[in-house]
Amino acid sequence: MPTDQSVDSFLSAVQPQAKAEDAQVLDALFRKTTGFEPVLWGPSIVGYGRYHYRYKSGREGVHLATGFSPRKAAHSIYIMPGYADFSHILSRLGKHKHGKSCLYVKKLADVDLDVLSELIQAGLEDLAQKWSVEPT
8-state DSSP, 105: E
pLDDT attached to residue 82: 73
Exposure of 67 in the CB half-sphere (CA atoms within 13 A): 25
- Mean pLDDT score across all residues of the chain: 93
pLDDT attached to residue 65: 95
pLDDT attached to residue 84: 81
Distance CA(131)–CA(51), nearest Å, equals 6
User: CA of 12: how far to CAs of 70, 114, 121, in Å?
Assistant: 11, 24, 26
Spatial CA neighbour of 68 closest among 130, 10, 126, 4: 10
pLDDT attached to residue 23: 97
pLDDT attached to residue 99: 83
- Tell me: the pLDDT tens digits for 10-61? 999 999 999 999 999 999 999 999 999 999 999 999 999 999 988 889 888 8
Residue 49 sits at φ, ψ, to 5 deg, of: 75, 165
Question: In sequence order, what DSSP letters do the residues of 9-49 get, joined into one string?
Answer: HHHHT-SSHHHHHHHHHHHHHHHHHH-PPEEEETTTEEEEE
- Tell me: the pLDDT tens digits for 54-106? 888 988 889 999 999 999 999 999 987 777 889 999 999 999 998 888 899 99
CATH number assigned to the domain covering 7-134:
3.90.1150.200
